[in-house]
């Protein structure tokens, strides 16, 4: 059992060494894109919700 645990962590170490981590500038740029997309989606959902709410109030 101990050998399996050690082998697991050795494999994890090998795989993590293959990872290419983003540069600081790339990470910042990607974060800005994600935040902007979240903001656009939130505004869109708010507008759709408002329109649907007003429409249902007019019907009932």
The domain ranges of the chain are: 20-60
Element (H, E) at 44: helix 24-59
pTM beyond 0.75: no
CB atoms within 10 A of CB 19: 6
Res 33: pLDDT = 98
Res 60: pLDDT = 83
Q: What is the mean pLDDT of each run of 10 residues along the chain (60 residues)?
A: 96 96 97 98 98 94
């Amino acid at each position: 059992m101990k050998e399996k645990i050690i082998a697991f962590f050795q494999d994890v170490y090998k795989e993590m060494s293959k990872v290419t981590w983003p540069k600081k500038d790339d990470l910042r740029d990607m974060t800005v894109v994600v935040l902007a997309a979240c903001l656009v989606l939130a505004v869109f959902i708010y507008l759709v919700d408002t329109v649907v709410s007003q429409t249902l109030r007019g019907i009932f």
